[in-house]
Chains A and B, each alone.
Chain A
Amino acid sequence: MNQTASSSQPRGFWEAPGGRRGIGAWVFSTDHKRIGLLYFYSTLLFFCVGALLGLALRLELFAPGADFFTPQQYNALFTLHGVVMIFLFIIPGIPAAFGNLVMPIQIGAEDVAFPRLNLLSWWLYAIGAILALTSLFTAGGAPDTGWTFYVPFSVRTTTNVSLATVAVFIIGFSGILTGLNFLVTIHRMRAPGMTWWRIPLFTWSLYATAWVQVLATPVLGITVLLIFAERVVGSGLFDPTRGGDPIMYQHLFWIYSHPAVYIMILPGMGVITDIIPVFARKPVFGYKAIAISSLAIAGAGSVVWAHHMTTSGMSDTAVLVFSLLTFLVAIPSAVKVFNWVATLYKGSISLDPPLLFALSFIFLFSIGGLTGLVLGAAATDVHVHDTYFVVGHFHFVMFGGTGFAYFAAMHYWLPKIYGRMYNKKAAVWGWALMTFGFIVLYMSMMIVGMEGMPRRYYDYLPKFTFWNQLATIGSWILACGLIITFVNIFRGLFKGEAAGDNPWGGASLEWQTSSPPPLENFVTEPEVTHGPYDFKKAGL
Chain B
Amino acid sequence: MNDSTPENHAAHPKDYLGAKLGMWLFLFTEVLLFGGLFILYAVYLQRYPEGFKLGGDQLNVWFGGGNTLVLLTSSLSVAMAITALQRGRVKQAANLVGVTVIMALWFLVNKFFEWSAKIQHGIYPSSEHLKEMPGGEQVFFNIYYLSTGLHGIHVLVGMFVMIWVLILIKKGKVNPDDYVTLENAGLYWHLVDLIWIFIFPLYYLIL
- Is A218 in contact with B17, judged by CB distance below 8 angstroms? no
Shortest beta-carbon distance from B150 to chain A in Å: 7
Query: Looking at the complex, which one of B1, B30, B136, B146 makes contact with A237 (CB distance below 8 Å)?
Result: B146
**What mask results when residues 408 to 427 of chain A are scored 1 for a CB within 8 Å of chain B, else 0?**
00000000000000000000
Given the known interface contacts A234-B126, A237-B40, the answer about A218 and B29 at a Cβ–Cβ threshold of 8 Å is yes
- Is B17 in contact with A248, judged by CB distance below 8 angstroms? no
Shortest beta-carbon distance from B42 to chain A in Å: 11
Closest 10 CB pairs of A and B: A243-B135, A234-B126, A222-B36, A218-B32, A243-B139, A188-B18, A218-B33, A235-B142, A233-B125, A218-B29
**What mask results when residues 108 to 136 of chain B are scored 1 for a CB within 8 Å of chain A, else 0?**
00000000000000001110000100111
| Residues from 168 to 184 in B contacting A, C-beta threshold 8 Å | none
- Is A214 in contact with B29, judged by CB distance below 8 angstroms? yes
Kindly count the residue-residue contacts between A and B in the assembled complex, taking CB atoms under 8 Å apart: 119
Shortest beta-carbon distance from B148 to chain A in Å: 13
Query: Looking at the complex, which one of B9, B124, B134 makes contact with A111 (CB distance below 8 Å)?
Result: B9
Given the known interface contacts A188-B15, A236-B138, the answer about A218 and B126 at a Cβ–Cβ threshold of 8 Å is no
Interface presence of B206 (CB below 8 A): no
Query: With a CB–CB cut-off of 8 A, which chain B residues contact A183?
Result: 21, 25
Shortest beta-carbon distance from A259 to chain B in Å: 12
Query: Looking at the complex, which one of A30, A188, A214, A222 makes contact with B17 (CB distance below 8 Å)?
Result: A188
Query: Looking at the complex, which one of A115, A221, A248 makes contact with B40 (CB distance below 8 Å)?
Result: A248
- Number of contacting residues on B, CB 8 A? 45
Given the known interface contacts A114-B4, A116-B6, the answer about A176 and B22 at a Cβ–Cβ threshold of 8 Å is no
Which label, helix, strand, loop or mixed, suits the secondary structure of the B interface? helix
Interface presence of A229 (CB below 8 A): yes
Query: With a CB–CB cut-off of 8 A, which chain A residues contact B139?
Result: 236-237, 242-244
CB-based nearest B residue for A241: B135
CB-based nearest A residue for B31: A218
Interface presence of A117 (CB below 8 A): yes
Shortest beta-carbon distance from A341 to chain B in Å: 36
What is the interface of chain B, defined by CB distance below 8 A to chain A?
1, 3-4, 6, 8-9, 12, 15, 17-18, 21-22, 25-26, 28-30, 32-37, 39-40, 43-44, 47-48, 51, 124-126, 131, 134-139, 142-143, 145-146, 150
- Is B33 in contact with A222, judged by CB distance below 8 angstroms? yes
Query: With a CB–CB cut-off of 8 A, which chain B residues contact A235?
Result: 125-126, 142-143, 145-146
CB-based nearest A residue for B150: A225
Given the known interface contacts A222-B36, A243-B136, the answer about A18 and B8 at a Cβ–Cβ threshold of 8 Å is yes
CB-based nearest A residue for B48: A243
Query: With a CB–CB cut-off of 8 A, which chain B residues contact A214?
Result: 25, 28-29
Query: With a CB–CB cut-off of 8 A, which chain B residues contact A243?
Result: 44, 48, 51, 134-139
For this complex, 27 residue pairs linking A to B, each with C-beta atoms less than 8 Å apart, are: A18-B8, A111-B9, A114-B1, A114-B22, A116-B3, A176-B29, A180-B22, A183-B25, A184-B25, A188-B18, A214-B29, A215-B28, A218-B29, A218-B33, A218-B36, A219-B32, A223-B36, A226-B146, A229-B146, A234-B125, A235-B142, A236-B142, A237-B143, A243-B48, A243-B135, A244-B139, A245-B44
